[in-house]
Amino acid sequence: MMLIAAGWISILLLFGGLALDRTLTSLVTRNFDEQLGYMLTGMIGSAEIGPDGEVFFNRPLGDQRFLEPNSGLYWQIRAAGHEDFPSRSLWDRSLDVPADHFDSRPHVFDSAQFPGERLRIMERSIILPGSNTQWMFTVAASRENLDDQIKSFRAILIYSFVALGFGLLVMAGLQTWYGLFPLRHVRRAIQRMRTTGASRLEGPLPREVQPLVEEVNALVAHTDRQAEEARTHAGNLAHALKTPLTVVMNAATAKAPDLADTVIREAAVMRRQVDHHLARARAVGRRAAGLSRANVWTSLEAVLRAVERLYENTRFDLAGNHDATVSVERQDLEEILGNLIENAAKYGGGSVFVTVDEAPDPYMCEIWIEDDGAGIPAAERGRIFDRGARLDTGKPGTGLGLAIVRDVVEIYGGTVELDESEDLGGLLVRLRLPRASSG
């Protein structure tokens, strides 16, 4: 920040100084030229043609320096075929100004024709009354005073701009120091939070960094929730595996004759538990990425292609919004839909109807899955999502499918509810998932 500030201050002061120097130089030079113009106008106004055809002044010029030799202020009148009429201040010198051109307006230029003395010369061509001769009126002045004035204000400009630049750099440094000072408070607060084990940034903190403090606290809280979820999942998995392992150990210790069957049965239970917790872990990880999105219709078609092979006698119908997109990873969406549609086909009477975006909502996409089976009594709908819960034990299953569905849907911020289908008379599963943003 300081380097950028120093760079911009230097550039602005440089261009500003150059512009100001050019402006002041132009003003001082123009004022100097105006003085020469007054003298030239006085010469022309006082000039007349004498009886001998030569020019003369009917009154003396007012500036005494025209009478002092080498005074730095000179005049001269020249015409072809006539002798030069110079000021006494020129002494034995003359202004080298050709008279073979005509300047109807005053013409000013610099000259170095006198050694050690730079001149500012103004000339003008005049034809005086009573004469047909073209007279070149010239007035010249040493640039010494003009150059001294320019050097003087340039020195003042340099000193002033150096002081101004130093002051601006100091102010930029102080502004940077005090502007970033609140972040030092935050750094110390984070250090205290890390060393003391606190879960939030506490204490009086500057108002300027309060939004940052709130975001840090929210991030810490989010991290704590994820850590707590991980601990809970690990504990649940350990508890779920503990019982099957105990059964296997007891059978092995007792050298039970059905040890092989027991191991196979309990291993299947453990595998289901592992699959369940892995599904939750994947969903949590994908949700944390925050970029998940999937087209509902595309996932439904992929699921139906697989389910139709298992239930060839079941009729599947799709309807609704083909463009509905949800903020869910496609693999998880297909696992959710696959569990629900397979259950509808397994426990239904031969007909499954899926509707996408049945109740349009700007934030949630609602998917209805209906079947024509016996349905589920209202009193049993709550516990059907518990792990291991099965209402129809006559058909194959583990009782973990709907539990996985509920857990994954809740991780993504959605809901799943059971109701009675008015059209088919069986079960209605109302699935609500967060809609993906259009961007």
The CATH number that applies at residue 241 is 1.10.287
Select from 249, 266, 289 the last residue of a domain: 289
Q: Which residues form the domain of 352?
A: 294-434
How is residue 71 written in tokens? 């005074």
CATH number where 416 lies? 3.30.565.10
337 and 427 both lie in a single domain:
yes
278 and 309 both lie in a single domain:
no
Select from 102, 129, 150 the last residue of a domain: 150
Alpha-carbon span 110 to 213, nearest angstrom? 69
Alpha-carbon span 346 to 234, nearest angstrom? 32
383 and 273 both lie in a single domain:
no
How is residue 273 written in tokens? 């538990």
- Identify which of 61, 62, 88 has the alpha carbon closest to the alpha carbon of residue 74: 88
140 and 6 both lie in a single domain:
yes
Residue 177 covered by a domain: no
Residue 247 covered by a domain: yes
Q: What is the CA radius of gyration of the chain?
A: 50
How is residue 308 written in tokens? 């139709």
| pLDDT tens readout for residues 7-59 | 999 999 999 999 999 999 999 999 999 999 999 999 988 998 888 888 888 88
Residue 190, C-beta contacts closer than 8 angstroms, at least 6 positions apart: 201, 216
Residue located via tokens 């059978």: 251
**Bridge partner residues of 352 (DSSP):** 316, 371
15 and 95 both lie in a single domain:
yes
Residue pair 256/241 in contact (Cβ under 8 Å)? The answer is no
Select from 289, 319, 342 the last residue of a domain: 289
Residue 70 covered by a domain: yes
Residue 157 covered by a domain: no
- Identify which of 206, 213, 217, 277 has the alpha carbon closest to the alpha carbon of residue 241: 277
282 and 317 both lie in a single domain:
no
Specify the amino acid at residue 346: K
Q: How far is CA 315 from CA 32, 80, 309, in A?
A: 104, 121, 12
Alpha-carbon span 422 to 412, nearest angstrom? 28
Specify the amino acid at residue 301: E
Alpha-carbon span 328 to 320, nearest angstrom? 19
How is residue 103 written in tokens? 């300047």
Q: Give the pLDDT of the chain (439 residues) as one tens digit per residue.
A: 888 888 999 999 999 999 999 999 999 999 999 999 999 999 988 998 888 888 888 888 888 888 899 899 999 998 888 888 999 999 888 888 876 778 888 989 999 888 889 999 999 988 888 788 888 999 999 999 899 999 998 999 999 999 999 999 999 888 888 877 778 878 888 887 777 777 787 767 777 777 887 888 888 887 777 777 777 767 667 766 777 788 788 888 888 888 888 888 888 777 777 776 666 666 565 555 456 788 999 999 999 998 988 888 899 999 999 989 998 888 888 888 998 999 899 888 889 999 998 667 788 999 999 999 888 887 787 777 665 444 444 444 433 467 778 888 888 889 999 988 888 888 999 999 998 876 5
94 and 58 both lie in a single domain:
yes
Alpha-carbon span 264 to 248, nearest angstrom? 9
Residue 322 covered by a domain: yes
Alpha-carbon span 154 to 195, nearest angstrom? 60
Residue 40 covered by a domain: yes
Helix (H, G, I), strand (E, B) or coil at 220: helix
Alpha-carbon span 55 to 98, nearest angstrom? 18
- Identify which of 396, 347, 397, 353 has the alpha carbon closest to the alpha carbon of residue 374: 347
140 and 13 both lie in a single domain:
yes
Residue pair 297/323 in contact (Cβ under 8 Å)? The answer is yes
> Domain tally for the chain?
3
What is the model's pLDDT at position 236?
67
How is residue 85 written in tokens? 């009429």
Alpha-carbon span 387 to 402, nearest angstrom? 8
Residue pair 438/362 in contact (Cβ under 8 Å)? The answer is no
42 and 144 both lie in a single domain:
yes
Residue pair 164/156 in contact (Cβ under 8 Å)? The answer is no
Alpha-carbon span 157 to 412, nearest angstrom? 67
Which run of H or E residues covers position 326?
A: strand 325-326
What is the model's pLDDT at position 277?
67
Residue 312 covered by a domain: yes
365 and 339 both lie in a single domain:
yes
142 and 91 both lie in a single domain:
yes
What is the model's pLDDT at position 251?
82
Alpha-carbon span 236 to 200, nearest angstrom? 28
356 and 403 both lie in a single domain:
yes
Residue 406 covered by a domain: yes
Phi then psi dihedrals of residue 173, to 5 deg: -65, -45
Residue pair 318/312 in contact (Cβ under 8 Å)? The answer is no
Q: Strands 85-86 and 415-420, how do they pair?
A: unpaired
